[in-house]
Amino acid sequence: MAFPVDFTWGAATASYQIEGAWNEDGRKPSIWDVFSATKGNVFNGDTGETACDHYHLYREDVALMKSLGLKAYRFSTAWPRIIPDGTGQINEKGLDFYSRLTDELLEAGITPWITLYHWDLPQSLALRGGWLNPDISGWFADYTEAVVKKLGDRIKNWITFNEPQCFIGLGYGTGEHAPGYRLPEAEIISCVHNSLVAHGKAVDVLRAAGGSNFNIGYVSTIQSPIPAEDNEECIATARLSLFCRQKEKPLIWNISLISDPLYLGEYPSDMIGDLEKSLPENWEQDMPLINRPLDFYGINIYSGYKIRAGKDGLPIYVPPTTGEAHTANLWDFQPDVLRWGPKFLYERYKKPIVISENGMAGTDWVSRDQKIHDAPRTDYLDRCLSGLEKAISVDKIEATGYFCWSLLDNFEWALGYRDRFGLVYVDYKTQKRIPKDSAYWYSEVIKTNGGSLS
């Protein structure tokens, strides 16, 4: 198989989605506590108040990871648990939880990967403007410093942000996610720029603490374009469709809006005319800070869309055929996404690719034999990872890690507990964990470094 001998095999989670303990040990509300408690915002009125109770069950969960052979675990820290008011007083009890979790992981031989922001902004900062407020970059830097001072002696792998397309695009644009705002595009661009400056300041804090010993990156998300035919024209057109300005999409959903400043040091030339009128005065002076050197490109990929070339060479979207397969949350089933998305991103940004999330929503249940037979998930993951292997072996991309989403069934944001992404089934009433068939399958993939893939 093509996977490097030191390839990182892991699983991922996020704080609000699994921890629970929403008001324990000094933690104060996040925007998701407020949003999910507001009637009509989340499916079935679900909240993350208890979630998977990982805050209390983390030792059992780490033991489960070890039994499955996970080499790495990507988790996020909760800003309102660490600095409950967003700024000011640090809550040592909150930091102590992540310190205990880190020690438990290391003792189990599992490498921790930490995400500093996976959407749970302190509510107190939302009341001060949240990502609309330029001061947030300093607040985020202070939060980063608190985390790295506590954990930087043991954690070497750092991610600043997860999916700005979602926490800004869905949180401030469509209102589907917390804090539930529906703002004009000019204010969305302000949020984007403020978050990029916050990232740059956080990288400076991390480098000051760990220098080149730290492995630092950023996580974005795409629906991957897939060539409708495996020929050079279709491949080139699919590549173009990923990075060119797509007028039918809000700006935030164009991957180059975020990635070009981070990795190339400039906003995309085909967007700058629309951006300049909304960017802050002297925004150019922020670009060196935004463009601090990073060690990898983290990408979350779940689904994709097929592209063919039109007569003018421009991309034409190929819609799904009637009855084409889809997942439980109605995302199109396109298992070639890890062949093409990572290839195009590596070619453009020249950084090692880490698949920071990939997985499938299912409608899993406990069978009569008390097991969970999730064959579609196993098939999906097998096909996706086979595509990634091809990107490594055929296209010669550098890919260094893969994190399955998710370790556990969990609170899936506006969809609550309706859909299940986990390798491990969670009975939310009893908090019993049951590894699914896919978990045992993935365990074998890890053990063989991908050799067991179909």
What is the bridge-based pairing of β-strands 157-162 and 111-117?
parallel
Active-site option among 19, 145, 357, 389: 357
Residue 19 among the catalytic residues: no
405 bridge partner residues: 12
Using CA atoms, how far apart are residues 81 and 28, in angstroms rounded to an integer? Answer: 7
Strand, coil or helix: 61: helix
Q: What is the dihedral of CA 65, 67, 72, 73, to 10 degrees?
A: 0
Tokens coding 43: 């499916």
User: Integer distance in angstroms from the first to the last C-alpha of the chain?
Assistant: 11
Which pTM was predicted? 0.98
> Which amino acid would we find at residue 83?
I
Q: Give the whole-angstrom CA distance, residue 228 versus residue 224.
A: 12
Q: 163, 229, 281, 412: which is the annotated catalytic residue?
A: 163
What residues have CB less than 8 Å from 23, skipping those under 6 apart?
29, 49
Residues 6+ apart with CB under 8 A from 127: none
| Token pair listed for 44 | 């079935």
pLDDT in tens, the chain (454 residues): 689 999 999 999 999 999 999 999 999 999 999 999 999 999 999 999 999 999 999 999 999 999 999 999 999 999 999 999 999 999 999 999 999 999 999 999 999 999 999 999 999 999 999 999 999 999 999 999 999 999 999 999 999 999 999 999 999 999 999 999 999 999 999 999 999 999 999 999 999 999 999 999 999 999 999 999 989 999 999 999 999 998 888 999 999 999 999 999 999 999 999 999 999 999 999 999 999 999 999 999 999 999 999 888 789 999 988 888 999 999 999 989 999 999 999 999 999 999 999 999 999 999 999 999 999 999 999 999 999 999 999 999 999 999 999 999 999 999 999 999 999 999 999 999 999 999 999 999 999 999 999 9
Number of residues that make up the chain: 454
The three-point CA angle 40-45-46 to 5° equals: 135
